[in-house]
Each structure stands twice: as structure tokens, then as C-alpha cells.
Amino acid sequence: MAMQRYDLVVVGSGPAGRRAAIQAAKLGKSVLVVDRGRELGGVSVHTGTIPSKTLRETVLNLSGWRERGFYGRGYRVKQEIGIGDLVRRLHKTLDHEVEVLSHQFMRNGVRHIRATGKFVAPDTLALTTDHGEHSEVGFDNALIAVGTRPHRPNNVPFDGEHVFDSDEILELGRLPRTLTVIGGGVIGVEYATIFSALDVPVTLIEPRRSILDFVDREVVDDFLHQMRDRGMQVRLGSAVAGIAVVDGHTEVTTDDGRVVRSEMVLYAAGRAGNVGGLGLEAIGIEADSRGRVKVDPDTFETSVPHIYAAGDVIGFPSLASTSMEQGRVAACHAFGVPLPPAPASFPYGIYAVPEISTVGLSEEQARTSGAAYEIGIARFRETSRGHIMGVDTGFLKLVFDRDSRRLLGAHIIGEGATELIHIGQAVINLGGTVDFFVNNTFNYPTLAEAYKIAGLDAWNRMGVVADG
């Protein structure tokens, strides 16, 4: 029997893989998606983006976190929150995501198979199903979208009971009485603050002296202040010398000799590309020490023609949103459909408690660029909507070029940050100036009105004279 051949074979069904598959199908191409997971969706649906955000939403709702500004820190919607409360909503959301994805594939004529894929030639992928059945498929183009997995150093005693990685933390049997989180990256701070919102005492340990280096410093300083203000221990500049499980609890020793005791440890220091067993050596592609694949930044083609890679496996910025775009661009390039270059500015969302979102230049980057700049700030408590919601923290910061008056960056910490950021994104990418915020009417009362307040703040600092 002749080997089946496809215009595009996609390995992995996360945001990059699925967007590429659907784009290729819409161009009338034959597509096969290969995924070894139990269900479609990749890390994004099953252990990453969607589960952590669902967990966050459930915790904020059941704990009454958002209303504590009014009712005090002791306020709770549900007095006893157990792991069952969190898991119920999680499974409902994940089932829905998988269903939507399966339907999307079916509607667009994308075939998918649950199997492990391994390149055996530059145009052939060997498939092995869970039942040990082997077959091969041919392809004209391939996309590697295998994502990443948590970095698990050998000296960390992972046991799924006391010491967890960020995948395993979703399968907790019970809520920890105390928790130590190792790693102050996005995943670490998201989980640390989510558990803290459940009133679990949390210690966050990060070997570097700062966290979230890509975010405006003023926002990070405020974030650290809020975490410490609610009783979290944040230890920066502390490298971990050892982790041990002793008499049913964990002991984390730092290089300065201090010992942090807690019931559980979440180790969230880095991720590595899922390239093991992919057979990259057979096609002449080399991954780096963290399993990342190098690509052309405009087309996402690897060093081997017609083989592309997209999503977390290519490294920075490792966001579901950018991964989707990368997959789409790769598919269009593979089939000769030219796309305009993507805008330089895209938003980051950090779904911690409080959430943080940022787009464009930070104040530090504006300062380094040497251009004259001005900032405008609006605190959410200054808005009527903020008062109505009982929001007593959070702010919006805008960075403008002083000469052209154009918006260079927008940075938000607080309720609704990841939604509000898109106003700043639109103004930056459309070349808008401070005048937009000053001259436009915003719905009242809203948090979005903070843009007008921050715009006026910058306008006043710039000493701009209104026309007429």
C-alpha cells in the first residue's frame, strides 16, 4: 500500500500547531496533525494557559478576593474551599476547549491522529500509536510545534506528593497548608499569588535579585509590595542549595544557609523543548541545550527547507497568543501566501493576583533609547469605577515620546489589566498620540477611563498647549 502523503504535517496541537493546521486547510491543503497527548490542545489547554487561568478565576470567585477592598481581608464567599471546588471547574473548562478544537478540525477537514511522531527523512514522519502500531506518512511541509515541558533537574526530589512541577500542581490531592515556590518567572509568580489568594502562606524564592525583567520596574516594584503586604515571603537573590522531604514536610535550603519549611514545594524554574525522540538528527536540525529550535524570525522556517517550527519550542516570547500567529505565518509562507510583517508591539499578560499587562517600551527602555520621553500615571482608586469595585490598588502607566507626542508603551497592574491593555496596543500600533486620550470620550464609570486620566497627567507634564 502506498504511503499516505500530506501537504502539511503538524507535530503538536497547541496554539501554534492548531492555528497552522487550520490556516493550511483554509488554503485548500491536506493536513495531518500528530499529537501524543491524551487529547488535543497541547500544553496550553491541558497544563498551561487555560488551566492556570481557570484556577485563578475560580480562586478569585470563591475566595471573594475582589470584594475584600470593601469587606476587609477576612471576607470569603465560601468558607471552606477544597481541591474539589477547584478541579470541578477546571475539568468543565478543559472539556469544552477540547470539544471546540475537535469541531474546528472536523469543520476544516483537518485529520488528526494520537501518536508519537519521529522524523526519519526530510519528507517522512514515522508514527507510533499507544498500542504500538507503526506507520509512516510523507509530507511536502512540516511544522514542529511540540511545545515545552517543565525543567526537572535530577537533584530535585519530585514525588507528586510534596514536591511538584507546574504540570503536577494541577493534580494536587489536597490544598497545601503552606507552600514554597521556587522560580520567580511568570509561572512561579502566577501560582504563588493564586495560592496566596486562597490564604495559603507562600514563600517565593528566586536566585536573581529581580523578577519579571521584561516588565516596567515601577510595575514590578508595586507588584512586590502588594505580595509582601499580604504576608507572602519573597526572597530574591536566594539560590537553592538543596530540597529535601523530611517527616512529611519539605525543607528548602538556600545558599546563605537558611532553611524554608513548608508542606509542599512547587519547582517552577524554567521549561525545556519537547524535542526528545523527535528524530531531529535524521533531518539535520539541532536543538540547543534547552531543547529549542532555531528558526528564521520572519518565516519560522528552520535550517531545513519546508520544515518549520513555532510556539514555545522556538523560545521567546513563549505566549499562546504569539504562538498562534507564528503558526499562521509559517503555514502561509509554506504555501506561498505573503503576509505583511507583524506589528512590533504585542501585549504580555501575566495572570497573577493582581494581574499585570504590558505593551511597547518600558520607562527603562525609553530612557536607554536616549529620546526625550514623558510619562502619565492613573491610579485605579482615582476612577469612579475603581471606587465602585472597591479597588484600592493598581495603576496604569503610559510612556510618550516628548517630541512626537506618540504613545510608546502602556503598563498596567491591577484588576482587568489584560483586557485594558488592548487600548494601549491599538494606539501604539496605529501611531496615536497623547491627543487621542485627551480628546476622546470614554465610557463612565469604567477602569478604561484611567487612559484619559493618565493622558491628561502626561499632557500636563509636557506643557502641551491645546489647539485653538
Q: Could you read off the pLDDT of 249-292 as tens digits, one per residue?
A: 999 999 999 999 999 999 999 999 999 999 999 999 999 999 99
Map grid coordinates 511568570 to a residue: 186
Q: Could you read off the pLDDT of 42-73 as tens digits, one per residue?
A: 887 888 889 899 999 999 998 888 888 778 87
Spatial separation of the C-alpha atoms in residues 241 and 429, rounded to whole Å: 45
Output the CA angle 396-206-156, nearest 5 degrees. 140
CB contact at 8 A, 315 and 297: no
Residue 342 confidence (pLDDT): 84
CA-based nearest residue to 158, from 48, 240, 268, 39: 268
DSSP notation for 26-73: HTT--EEEEE-SSSTTHHHHHTSHHHHHHHHHHHHHHHTGGGHHHH-T
Average pLDDT on 107-128 reads: 96
How many Å separate Cα 427 from the centre of its chain? 23
How many Å separate Cα 423 from the centre of its chain? 20
Cell output for 52: 492556570
**Lowest model confidence (mean pLDDT) among 36-40, 308-312, 392-396, 423-427:** 36-40
Give the count of beta carbons closer than 10 Å to the beta carbon of residue 436. Answer: 18
Average pLDDT on 332-346 reads: 91
Q: Could you read off the pLDDT of 6-45 as tens digits, one per residue?
A: 999 999 999 999 999 999 999 999 999 999 987 888 887 8
Residue 465 confidence (pLDDT): 55
The verdict on domain 4-150+272-334 having CATH code 3.40.50.261 is: no
Q: Where in the chain is the domain with CATH 3.50.50.60?
A: 4-150+272-334, 163-269
Go through the chain and tell me how many residues it has: 468
Average pLDDT on 193-200 reads: 95
CA-based nearest residue to 308, from 292, 290, 296, 319: 296
Q: At what angle do helices 15-26 and 83-108 cross, to 10 degrees?
A: 20
Spatial separation of the C-alpha atoms in residues 411 and 104, rounded to whole Å: 34
Output the CA angle 163-147-186, nearest 5 degrees. 55
Average pLDDT on 161-180 reads: 93
Spatial separation of the C-alpha atoms in residues 53 and 209, rounded to whole Å: 27
Cell output for 310: 513555532
Task: Give the CATH number of domain 163-269.
Answer: 3.50.50.60
The pLDDT of residue 177 is above 80 = yes
Full-model pTM: 0.94
Cell output for 51: 488551566
Q: Omega before 340 cis (within 30°)?
A: no
468 — pLDDT class (breaks 50, 70, 90): very low
Task: Give the CATH number of domain 348-462.
Answer: 3.30.390.30
Q: Which backbone phi and psi does 333 adopt, to 5 degrees?
A: -65, -40
Residue 464 confidence (pLDDT): 62
**Average pLDDT of the residues of the chain:** 94
Spatial separation of the C-alpha atoms in residues 34 and 117, rounded to whole Å: 7
The alpha helices in 311-467, defined as continuous H runs, are 320-334, 363-369, 384-389, 417-429, 434-439, 450-462
